[in-house]
Amino acid sequence: AAGVIQSPRHLIKEKRETATLKCYPIPRHDTVYWYQQGPGQDPQFLISFYEKMQSDKGSIPDRFSAQQFSDYHSELNMSSLELGDSALYFCASSSTDRGWRNTEAFFGQGTRLTVV
Amino acid sequence: DAKTTQPPSMDCAEGRAANLPCNHSTISGNEYVYWYRQIHSQGPQYIIHGLKNNETNEMASLIITEDRKSSTLILPHATLRDTAVYYCIVRGSGGSNYKLTFGKGTLLTVNP
């Protein structure tokens, strides 16, 4: 079965550079979620999209932005990178066909961002 | 979303059942209980979810108490590959599309 695809899997950037992370949801999934997981931390919700519109926002820095495109893939754009942005970034997707509460979300394998 | 409480760590012998508890005493009537696990640095993996009835799939069983204030995830025959952090998540409110909020999960270590 198709899974959530994230690219790149690894990314090394210098401070103050920009980075773009991509997420390709499972086909026919209409919702995408982004999470950040720092070293030794639990995944923290950043932002989500439903049908290409932002639907929820968590603790996402103003330096970060994201969008969902017409083909439902999503991109997380990160500017003015800081050392503290080094983390795993996960994308998840779900379908709302059984309602919001009763639908599992599936996660990709993540992008490991290292800021040096 | 309702807060959940899980033990920080548990051990289990390979081949035995692993029973992971979760308390969610403030759960609302329309909130679901979800279980995910994360094997070191991999993406969280969906295991199972339920509302009030017990659920079973090919990975695990979910037992929810009648008052819905707690639940137990059961891995019937744990293997070494089940060593992971297990997250119990209550989902159903707090936002427009019910994001999954990860708390402090349980590190399950399966021993040979």
Identify which of A28, A43, A19 has the alpha carbon closest to the alpha carbon of residue A91: A43
Contact A110 B42 (CB under 8 A): yes
Length of chain B (residues): 112
Distance between CA atoms of residues A60 and A31, nearest Å: 18
Contact B87 A55 (CB under 8 A): no
Q: Does B107 touch chain A (CB under 8 A)?
A: no
Give the per-residue pLDDT at A97.
Answer: 78
Smallest Cβ–Cβ distance between B32 and the set A4, A101, A112 belongs to A101
Three-state DSSP at B80 gives helix
Residue of B nearest to A99 (CA): B97
Using the predicted structure, report yes or no on whether residue B110 has a pLDDT greater than 70: yes
pLDDT values of chain A reduced to their tens digit, one per residue, 116 residues: 689 999 999 999 999 999 999 999 999 999 999 999 999 999 999 999 999 999 889 989 999 999 999 999 999 999 999 999 999 999 999 998 777 777 899 999 999 999 99
pLDDT tens digits along B39-67: 988 999 999 999 998 999 999 999 999 99
Residue of B nearest to A47 (CA): B99
Per-residue pLDDT band at B69 (split at 50, 70, 90): very high
In degrees, to the nearest 5, what angle opens at C-alpha B33 toward C-alphas B31 and B34?
130
Distance between CA atoms of residues A96 and A103, nearest Å: 6
Asked, as a colleague might, if the bond just before B76 is cis with ω within 30 of 0, I would say no
Using the predicted structure, report yes or no on whether residue B95 has a pLDDT greater than 70: no
Identify which of A52, A55, A62, A61 has the alpha carbon closest to the alpha carbon of residue A29: A52
Chain B interface test: which of A10, A24, A31, A42 (most B C-beta within 10 Å): A42
Output the CA–CA distances (angstroms, integers) from residue B110 to B9, B39, B63, B71, in the order listed.
Answer: 11, 12, 21, 21
Identify which of B22, B7, B34, B12 has the alpha carbon closest to the alpha carbon of residue B92: B34
Smallest Cβ–Cβ distance between B97 and the set A50, A109, A110 belongs to A50
> Residue A33 corresponds to which tokens in the numbers above?
């979620």
Beta carbons of A10 and A115 less than 8 angstroms apart: no
Bridge partner list, B34: B49, B89
Distance of CA B106 to the CA centre of its chain: 9
Residues of A engaging B, defined by a Cβ cutoff of 8 Å: 4, 31, 33, 35, 42-45, 48, 50, 55-56, 58, 88, 90, 92, 96, 100-102, 104-110, 112
**How far apart are the CA of A80 and the nearest CA of chain B, in angstroms?**
25
